[in-house]
Structure 1
Amino acid sequence: MTDAALQSIAAAYGTPTFVFDADALQARVRAIEEIFGPDIALCYSIKANPFLLHAMSSVTARLEVCSPGELSICEQLHAADARVIYSGVNKTPVDIVRAAADGVGSYTAESLLQVRYLQEAALAAGKRIPVLLRLNAGSQFGMSKTDLFHALAHRAETPDLEFIGIHYFVGTQRKKLANQQKELAMLRELYDEIEQTFGLRLSELEYGPGLPVPYFNGDDFTDTLAPAKTLAPALQEAARWAHLTVEMGRFYTAECGYYLTTAMDCKDHDGQHYCIVDGGMNHLNYLGQIMGMKRPHLRHFAAQAGETLDWTLCGSLCTTNDVLVRSMPLDGLAPGDLLVFENAGAYSVTEGLGLFLSRDLPWVVLWQDGAPRLVRGITPTYPLNTPNL
């Protein structure tokens, strides 16, 4: 976004404010779609940023929901339909019945217990439920190969479930793309083994590659689509033996977000320059940041020129942990100056310590069709921290 657009939003709404550029987001998704080709469907994991659900629903084929609350967001935005893949651990029978009533398109099964819950819900709803069996990748998510094969071997006991494929996701910010290539080869062998063992050819694969994005000075920003370009041939090969859906969140959304905050107080102590801003770590969170030691991309709009000093940028929370950047050289920083943190589009808006110290949640503004739209006002959190006595 342009400097002028960001400054105009700060002037109109104040700070702290998250701004999400939906125009840039949709352009990026279309670029990814072109890189991958027409045989690969895109899925948006809305946990990355639920405020972008509406913008993403028009440019991706599917939406991944991982909690009852996320399903409620889809319901509010009229997106709880066949595009939704209901994923996540701890799906209760009540959750599944509700999703079935909404017309959710497919479900992941994280365990044999979830397979049973899905069968019971399908029977109660009087419909067949499409199911992706999630294969464990070394964490608490998904089921072992042994359990997955047990579900397939006993599918006569789940006649109302249609096992359509496998869901596989290891994690995020995975820079060694050779690992993803090996996983896709492993999955092809697994599909072949399932066909030979059970006479069942699974038709779909839901795969989360966890492609990395740059955040900090020293990261490579020259082509942030490069990981998609590198992995595309392996994904295209996988699309030849299964209907492939690539599930991502961070890789779509990180670039489109900005966090606007204002310098409130500036002071020196033994040669150390501190700036207190009106936001803080209760709002802003970068994966990989450690006590502010890394420098994210930052724009500083100074009211007047001045000496370049090395600043420690701190939030408004009463804790020594609230350091956004430990060392940032800035020219003429003074109270009232606007600071804009870039690449804040993924997770930060919901992952921060929002309730800590009962500070307000920030404004949220969407930039779409070249204009701002307020989608959430400043939201007090103290009512949530006040006991009902």
Structure 2
Amino acid sequence: MDHFNYREGVLHAEDVSIPTIAEQVGTPFYVYSTATLTRHFNVFDQALADLPHLICYAVKANGNLAVLRTLARLGAGMDVVSEGEFRRALAAGVPGDKVVFSGVGKTAAEMRFALANGVRQFNVESAEELEALDAVAREMGVRAPIALRVNPDVDARTHAKIATGKAENKFGVPISAARQVYARAAAMEGIEVVGVDVHIGSQLTDLAPFEAAFRKVAELTEALRADGHDIRRLDLGGGLGIPYRQANEAPPLPFDYGALVRRTVGHLGCEIEVEPGRLIAGNAGLLVASVIYRKQGEGREFLILDAAMNDLIRPAMYDAWHDIAPVIEPAPGAERRPVDVVGPVCETGDTFARDRALPFIGPGELVAFRSAGAYGAAMASEYNSRPLVPEVLVDGDQFAVVRRRPTFEEMLARDTIPSWLA
């Protein structure tokens, strides 16, 4: 469910019409709904209500400070994968003891920053990282709280580029080797073992892979406790999918996910940490663009937009589907014709949809990409020297630009011409 609906024939974000935002901000732009962010967080929170738990929102999905502050005020912790994301969490008002630091390539500088800011835990991905973290912690005279990320070799049945729990993936320690690595950790002066971490991938639309992974984690937890480790937290990662095709996709509900967590690991008495990103932010955002041209090609028609792959790269990178809606509601029974929806970037890959059946949308009209709140603006670039697009947050009948569009002068000013070329 989201809060983007037609009212009197015009698409609205909560109580604000999309054309009103476009008139003041220009296109393309991202717009996020506070009501949707709030609802999705609360639904997930309620799904785990009878278990001790902390929802650590995955900052990588959408790291806008206004989005993070909205979630922080609801009680969210944060899952981060870089010092920059950690700094975003702190700037949004999230204390360090509610920040989990994940990622396979943490540097010594990032470890120092996290420890200095009271990080909740490191999700350690390798024995090599464990050694480096121990050295940094001893140098600082502290102990680093860790959960070892285990790789359960479970097929998440998702896109190959966002699967993270198979043996061939770069993430985590093989679950078969986990007890040996935990034994090494327990002997380290700078390490405090607090839990177990697992994350098998993103955009999962079936609970079976979660169940397989969680049961393996439960067995490991009991074995680690028998080895003398105080395992008191289980970080179960994120990955629960959302409906990108609104008409015919129905991923599992958070309530069903919560029931699975209780059934597989609830008996262990651990605090549960989860790291949803897409589930909270995905359907809370739109990318709004204007049609520049409607071009007739050889045997096909193109809708050329002012948004491009640098603004929303998911279709080019993952062959991802986003529902595309005209901002002005088409008349009932309006004819739909297949068009290729493309951007202006000089790449054939700059294609959002092929042979998409859409009602007639002419030059100057607005279209909205649904389910663009996660991995949209967060993955955007300035390819082709196109400025990053603005981000807008709506709350009821008010809206604010929460990241403005940079000027061309600001973009150029970041480059420096060396003295020998002056």
TM-score, scaled relative to structure 2: 0.83
Map 1:290-305 → 2, pairs under 5 A: 294=321, 296-302=322-328
- Report the counterpart of residue 62 of structure 2 in structure 1: 49
Q: What stretches of structure 1 of length at least 5 have no aligned partner?
A: none
Instruction: Identify which of 275, 282, 288 aligns with 1:260.
Output: 288
Pairwise CA distance, 1:209: 4.6
User: SS of the counterpart of 1:50?
Assistant: coil
Query: Match for residue 230 of structure 1?
Result: 256
Structure 1 consecutive aligned stretches of length 4 or more whose deviation exceeds 4 Å: 287-292, 302-308, 384-387
Distance between the aligned counterparts of 1:57 and 1:227, measured in 2? 23
Equivalent of residue 278 in structure 2, options 226, 246, 250? 250
Distance in 1 (alpha carbons) for counterparts of 2:281 and 2:328: 28
Quick check: 1:383 aligned with 2:412? yes
- Does residue 185 of the first structure (1) align with residue 221 of the second (2)? no
- Are 2:181 and 1:151 aligned? yes
Identity of aligned residues (%): 24
SS of 2:275's equivalent in the other structure is: strand
Cα pair 1:260 1:341 within 8 Å, conserved: yes
Q: Offset of 1:153 from its aligned partner? A: 2.0
Which stretch shifts more, 113-122 or 153-162?
A: 153-162
Supply the distance in 2 between the matched residues of 1:372 and 1:171 (Cα, whole angstroms).
Answer: 34
Partner SS for 1:133 = strand
- Residue-by-residue CA offset, 1:358-387 (whole Å, 9 max, x unaligned): 111111111125421111111257538956
Task: Note the 1:110-121 alignment, pairs <5 A.
Answer: 110-121=125-136
CA shift, 1:127, in A, is 2.5
Distance in 1 separating the partners of 2:362 and 2:185: 67
C-alpha separation in 1, matches of 2:56 and 2:266: 15
Distance 1:304 1:162 in 2: 60
Distance 1:218 1:156, change over 3 A: closer
Q: Which residue is equivalent to 1:207?
A: 236
CA distance in 1, matches of 2:246, 2:327: 19
State which drifts further: 298-307 or 173-182. 298-307
Between stretches 164-173 and 280-289, larger displacement belongs to 280-289
Q: Deviations over 1:66-121 (max 9, x none)?
A: 01221232243343521111111111111111111122221111112221222222
On the 8 A contact 2:393/2:400 being kept in 1, the answer is yes
Letter in 2 for 1:254: G
5+ residue gaps, structure 2, are 6-10, 152-164
What number of residue pairs does the alignment pair up? 382
Match of 2:352 among 308, 317, 324: 324
**Equivalent in the alignment of 1:33:** 45
Give the whole-Å Cα distance in 2 for the aligned partners of 1:211 and 1:155. 31
User: What SS does structure 1 have at the residue aligned with 2:253?
Assistant: helix
2:368 maps to 340
**Shift of residue 356, structure 1, vs aligned partner:** 1.9
> How far apart are the structure 2 equivalents of 1:308 and 1:182?
43
Instruction: Report which stretch shifted further, 99-108 or 34-43.
Output: 34-43
CA distance in 2, matches of 1:317, 1:385: 22
Q: Write the letter of the residue equivalent to 2:385.
A: S
Aligned AA (2:81)? C
- Does the Cα contact within 8 Å between 1:267 and 1:275 map onto a contact in 2? yes
The more displaced of 62-71 and 319-328 is 319-328
Q: Is the 8 A contact 1:303 1:337 kept in 2?
A: no
Q: CA RMSD in A?
A: 2.6
